Amino acid sequence: MGKQTILTGIIVEETTVFTLAELSRACGKPAEWILALVEEGVIEPVGGDQAHWQFRGHCLRRVCIVQRLESDLGLNLAGAALALELLEEVETLRNRIAILER
Amino acid sequence: MEYKDYYKIMGLKRDASQDDIKRAHRKLARKYHPDVSKEPDAEAKFKEAGEAYEVLKDPEKRAAYDRLGDNLKAGQEFHPPPNWDSGFEFRGGGFTAADMGGFSDFFAELFGQQGRAAQAAYSTQFNARGQDHHAKVAVDLEAAFHDATRSISLQSPELDAQGQMRLTTRTLNVKIPKGIKEGQQIRLAGQGSPGMGQGVKGDLYLEIHFKPHPIYRVEGRDLHMQLPVAPWEAALGATVKAPTPDGKVDLKIPAGSNSGNKLRLKGRGIPGNPAGDIYVTLSVVAPPANSEQAKAIYKEMASKLAFNPRAGMGV
């Protein structure tokens, strides 16, 4: 690739919606696993029946974190889902502290 | 190539039991997992622990590693003796960890012979879309303000012509979309793994994080900053210059302001619909009394102003 090539991407969270197949491919896990995440309430699909499900862009990050926690730390889905929520809370709190400490 | 002391990395003695090794790895993995830890070198430590565990958990690899001797120190220049691993039978592919590309040269030199054949054979039979890749990158906050192009270096394990895993670095010039927020991802179509056979290339997802900024703290699209003001600016009111990532602006300080008061620069945060705001917290700074004139002014204030800053404390 030439040095001058400038790649332009899109912000996933703002503009992208994933189908079940796309989300499954983006995190490298089978569709059944994504369905289990929906069951667990980690991500919420929009749009009618399963065949027409769509996932908003922000789901990708959540799905990837759960996938890494599961494979790296051996957590089960429920544990990873709980860890994800706690991590998000910790991140919010850390950010607040950084603002207040100034 | 440097010798790596896998026992030291895991905080273990050389006679540690397999159970000790497993426990140590679980603890380190939780502590340094890049999604969990905020330590700057968490990812490196996590990988290092993973590499150490990959060797020590396997009695065959561990025995081979132990044979290299106790007298070697971590970081020491190291060349494996010829046929060092002869007499050890490694079962199967040898690699159970998927991410061996992230392991050190030291690991690759010792155990790199196994697993390659399996990798190479696998790649010829299918037509499949290439894998999607994910990477975290840190950019300066200013990049979010005007469709800035940033040069981003990524390391990824790739198979070379001999079917061997190598860490390769590639540099991409990426346009950071204006208005991006901390933690959001950019999707670059076709920048992931090559497909197999007729398959198309996968995509690359870049998770954007802002480097710590000396002036601003980021919260969503809003920025927070402290602005030092002189006592007379706060007391009498003034129009002062304030920095924003888009350049200097005039900020009107109302009369009677004090340290801790917050002002809002509407729409001056990260662009978007709606754009974020900048919250400015005033910080009154006392001028130093380092001249006769300054001392005289302070003395005059002391004698003429009936001011007790501790009145609220009842003293």
Indicate where chain B has its CATH 1.10.287.110 domain(s): 6-114
Residue of B253, B231, B221, B246 lying closest to B298 (CA atoms): B231
Give residue A93's pLDDT.
92
Q: Shortest Cα distance from B137 to chain A (angstroms)?
A: 14
**In chain A, which residue's Cα lies nearest the Cα of B35?**
A65
At residue B223, the pLDDT reads 96
Predicted local confidence at residue B80, as pLDDT: 64
Q: How many CA atoms lie within 13 A of B60 on its CB side?
A: 13
The answer, yes or no, to whether residue B110 has pLDDT greater than 80, is: no
Residues of chain B with CATH 2.60.260.20: 133-210, 217-304
B58 contact partners, CB below 8 Å, separation of at least 6: none
B133-139 sheet: strands from edge to edge: A10-11, B185-188, B204-210, B133-139
Instruction: State both tokens at A21.
Output: 């197949």
Edge-to-edge strands of the sheet including B217-219? B217-219, B222-229, B278-284, B262-265
Tell how strand B185-188 and strand A10-11 pair up: antiparallel
> What is the chain A residue with the closest CA to B282?
A102
**A73 closest CB neighbour out of B33, B181, B184:** B33
Statement: residue B32 has pLDDT above 60: yes
Task: Specify if A36 maps to a domain.
Answer: yes
Total structural domains in chain A? 1
CATH number at residue A82: 1.10.1660.10
- How confident is the model over B124-156, as pLDDT tens digits? 455 677 888 888 889 999 999 988 899 988 877
Residues of A in contact with B206 (CB under 8 A): 9
Nearest chain A alpha carbon to B192: A26
Cβ contacts of B47 on chain A, cutoff 8 Å: none
Nearest beta carbon to residue B134 from set A4, A14, A64: A64
| Domain-embedded: residue A6 | no
Q: Say if the ipTM goes beyond 0.95.
A: no
User: Which single residue is written with the structure tokens 């969503």?
Assistant: B220
A4 lies in a domain?
no
- Looking at residue B65, its pLDDT comes to 87
pLDDT at B231: 96
In a domain, A18, yes or no: yes
How much is the pLDDT for B219? Answer: 92
Tokens standing for B153?
């270096």
Average pLDDT over residues B148-170: 78
Radius of gyration of chain A (CA): 16
Answering whether pTM is above 0.95, one says no
Tell me what the mean pLDDT of segment B203-229 comes to.
93
Whether residue B166 contacts residue B107, with contact meaning beta carbons closer than 8 Å, is answered with no
Cβ A73–B205 below 8 Å, yes or no?
Answer: no
- CATH of B6-114 among 1.10.287.110, 3.10.20.30, 2.60.40.1250, 3.40.640.10: 1.10.287.110
Asked if the structure places residue A7 within a domain, the reply is no
CA A2 to chain centre: 32
Report the pLDDT value the prediction gives residue B132, as an integer from 0 to 100: 87
| Averaged pLDDT for residues B30-38 | 89
Q: How confident is the model at residue B118 (pLDDT cuts 50, 70, 90)?
A: very low
Q: Which residues of chain A approach chain B closer than 8 Å at the C-beta?
A: 1, 3-14, 16, 25-28, 57, 60-61, 64-65, 68-69, 72-74, 83, 87, 94-96, 98-99, 102
Pairwise CB contact (< 8 Å): A73 & B29: yes
At residue B299, does pLDDT exceed 50? yes
Which tens digit of pLDDT belongs to each residue from B66-103? 887 655 666 666 666 655 555 454 543 333 344 555 67
CB B110 within 8 A of CB B64: yes
How much is the mean pLDDT over chain B?
A: 84
Specify which residues B137 forms β-bridges with.
Answer: B208
Give the fold, CATH level 3, of B217-304.
HSP40/DNAj peptide-binding domain (2.60.260)
3-state secondary structure B122-162: HCCCCCECCCCEEEEEEECHHHHCCCCEEEEEEEEEEECCC
Using the beta-carbon criterion (under 8 Å), do A7 and B180 form an inter-chain contact? no
Identity of the amino acid at B227: L
Contact predicate B167/B293, CB 8 Å: no
Residue A82: inside a domain: yes
C-beta of residue B126 within 8 angstroms of C-beta of residue B169: no
Instruction: Give residue A45's domain range.
Output: 12-100
What per-residue confidence (pLDDT) applies to A48? 77
Residue B274: is the preceding peptide bond cis (ω within 30°)?
A: yes
Does the pLDDT of residue A102 top 70, yes or no? no
8 A C-beta contact, residue B29 and residue B36 = no
Answer for the pair B2, B10: CB distance below 8 angstroms, yes or no.
no
* A27, A74, A99 member nearest B224 (Cβ): A99
In this model, does residue B196 exceed pLDDT 80?
no
Domain B133-210 has what CATH class? mainly beta
- Residue A85 CA to residue A93 CA, distance in Å, equals 12
- Beta strands B278-284 and B222-229, pairing class: parallel
pLDDT at B97: 42
**Per-residue model confidence as pLDDT tens digits over A49-91:** 888 899 999 999 999 999 999 988 989 999 999 999 999 999 8
pLDDT greater at residue A21 or residue B278 = B278
